[in-house]
Structure 1
Amino acid sequence: MDWLRANKIPIGSYGEAAIDWLIDNFLWLFDTISNILSTIIAGLLYVLATPSPLIVIAAFALVAFALRRSILAALTTAAGLLLIVNLGYWTETTQTLSLVLAATFVCMVIGIPLGILAARREWIYNIMRPVLDLMQTIPTFVYLIPALILFGLGTVPGLVATVIFALPSSIRLTRLGIVSTPRQLVEAGDAFGATPVQRLFAVEIPYALPQIMAGLTQTIMLSLSMVVIAALVGAPGLGVPVLRALNTVDISRGLEAGLAIVILAIILDRFFRIDEEGRK
């Protein structure tokens, strides 16, 4: 055992050298990615934070009614957001919402094509599977450190960490929906002379839509679970008061900020949830 401990494999040193090499050779790329992500978040935040809270709340209530065809859904959405305003966390809520929406957008843009590719080629999924397992099981702080080094302090490293944590859900559930398409439907598409692309968009994706939407809601929930982690690297939002409450053992502030996160999670889940008939 002494010999084994004395001949330590320098994995940490190798990782540090890899990060230094990335900084030396691809800093321009990380700066470009950081600028793009910052622009997306800033645009979303402008749309959410510039109008009066009442206007934004009314818009959310209308969207809830349009998606769920339920007055109760619209009223509960408005009531939840009004409670957030009453608690004094509206600004933090818009910041968190912009971060979650940006992370979800990135996850779905990357995850859906990768999920389709994994469904098409089993050997590709066999390669991706251990990587996806690693992305979800490795402690968040492990990849938060290189994200902080590569992208600097602020919202972007929090967004990157959120994407790494939430991305596997969209990939796996998209693949599951595609591979679950009944063979009879696929054969019917082939019988009508559909090309693989036509079959994908006309048969497989419509059938897989409930699974894809489930991946979307899971991505949103996982993104919301990362708001406190993102606050540790300077990302604004509801994670900041939660972190401050934790540091000062402020039960009142922690309960209120946590309630705001729960309300936001429930509203977003109701927006994108698929019902039993496969419709919103």
Structure 2
Amino acid sequence: MNLNLLRFSPGLYFAPAVDWLNTNFHPVFDAITKLIEAVLGALESALLYPPPYVLIVAAVLVVAFAINIRSAVVAAVALSFCLLAGLWAASMQTLALVTVAVAISVLIAFPLGVLASRRKGFEVAVRPVLDIMQTVPPWVYLIPAVMIFSLGRVPAIIATIIYGVPPMLRLTTLAFNQVPKDLLELGQATGAPPRAILLKIEIPSAMPTLLVGLNQCILLSLAMVVLAGLVGAGGLGAEVTRGLTRMEMGLGLRAGLAIVAIAILLDRLSKGALQGRARSPDRSA
């Protein structure tokens, strides 16, 4: 028996499908590329235009007034480390890429998670898909992204979004499933509309688990940043890759610690902003 006949090669089916997509949906992919490049370029320009010290001071003041002093100290330490490590431009590029990727991931995952918590059939259908997406090695997502969008920042951000959606979607579903039923019944009994129940009861009650999902989304997105350096995305991922290929331990260590600083910064800022927003409806009520 010829064993080659029993072998299954996904590439035999996947490659023609990608070619068909590139042939028939090239204008769509080109529009997505231009949109992402425009948003990412504008954010990078905004972060890199002012001198580093000016941006650090402005960021610390904004965070101190908008969130709290503790978060402002974290922002000062994280941004100062990126500057003193000599990786300011790469850090701002990574910050822009991760911010855009996480924002899009949340915009996709949050409504789907709310829908899954309300429609059990949809939750059952999407669960095996999420299991597969979280089991597949992250670098695998770069392959179809590069085949469709070529090299650069766009395939990196697309792969990062795909990798960041599953944990946020799963934990959003869990968060809304854990909302106490008596609170929902109380809101319905008072005649509150569904939007008011969602904003003033469900989201504040689900906020601790939602913050865990956001934290996981940020961490996984930063993990993809290193791999994205392999496809020309730039930023700290490119510095880690350069340190690895040149066997420069100092460069790789500095870039790795800068990624940790960006992760802590994004985690503290997002947590502080969301917790403050969750408390605001209670004050208004």
TM-score with structure 2 setting the length: 0.90
Per the alignment, do residues 276 and 63 of structure 1 end up closer, same or farther by CA in structure 2, a change over 3 Å counting? closer
Matched, 1:81 2:76: no
CA distance in 1, matches of 2:194, 2:80: 48
Per the alignment, do residues 216 and 63 of structure 1 end up closer, same or farther by CA in structure 2, a change over 3 Å counting? farther
- CA offsets, 1:201-247, max 9 Å, x none? 33212221232232222211111111111111110100111101111
Matched, 1:161 2:159: yes
Matched, 1:50 2:49: yes
Partner of 2:270: 272
Q: Which amino acid aligns with 1:173?
A: L
Contact 1:67 1:271 survives alignment (8 Å): no
Task: Give matches, 1:145-160, under 5 Å.
Answer: 145-160=143-158
Q: Which amino acid aligns with 1:60?
A: A
Quick one: which of 219, 223, 226 aligns to 1:225?
223
Matched, 1:237 2:235: yes
CA distance in 2, matches of 1:159, 1:122: 31
Partner of 1:173: 171
Partner of 2:64: 65
Contact 2:204 2:279 survives alignment (8 Å): no
- CA offsets, 1:237-262, max 9 Å, x none? 00111101111111111111111111
Unaligned runs of 5+ in 2: 281-285
Contact 1:80 1:263 survives alignment (8 Å): yes
Partner of 2:106: 108
Partner of 2:22: 23
CA distance in 1, matches of 2:268, 2:89: 22
Q: Which amino acid aligns with 2:190?
A: F
- CA offsets, 1:7-66, max 9 Å, x none? 333432111111111111111111111111111111111111111111211122124323
Matched, 1:255 2:243: no
Q: Which amino acid aligns with 2:37?
A: S
Contact 2:78 2:264 survives alignment (8 Å): no
Contact 2:226 2:236 survives alignment (8 Å): yes
Contact 1:93 1:260 survives alignment (8 Å): yes
- How many residue pairs are counted as aligned between the two chains? 278
CA distance in 1, matches of 2:245, 2:134: 27
CA distance in 2, matches of 1:67, 1:270: 13
SS of alignment partner, residue 238 of structure 1: helix
Per the alignment, do residues 68 and 276 of structure 1 end up closer, same or farther by CA in structure 2, a change over 3 Å counting? closer
CA distance in 2, matches of 1:264, 1:11: 37
Q: Which amino acid aligns with 1:115?
A: G
Per the alignment, do residues 76 and 115 of structure 1 end up closer, same or farther by CA in structure 2, a change over 3 Å counting? closer
Contact 2:179 2:205 survives alignment (8 Å): yes
Partner of 2:283: none
Matched, 1:14 2:13: yes
CA distance in 2, matches of 1:4, 1:191: 66
- CA offsets, 1:165-221, max 9 Å, x none? 111121112111111110101111111123434422332122212322322222111
Per the alignment, do residues 276 and 77 of structure 1 end up closer, same or farther by CA in structure 2, a change over 3 Å counting? closer
- CA offsets, 1:112-151, max 9 Å, x none? 1000000010110111111111222112232211100111
SS of alignment partner, residue 184 of structure 2: helix
Contact 2:71 2:269 survives alignment (8 Å): no
CA distance in 1, matches of 2:219, 2:56: 21
Task: Return the offset for 1:152.
Answer: 1.6
Contact 1:214 1:273 survives alignment (8 Å): no
Per the alignment, do residues 279 and 202 of structure 1 end up closer, same or farther by CA in structure 2, a change over 3 Å counting? closer
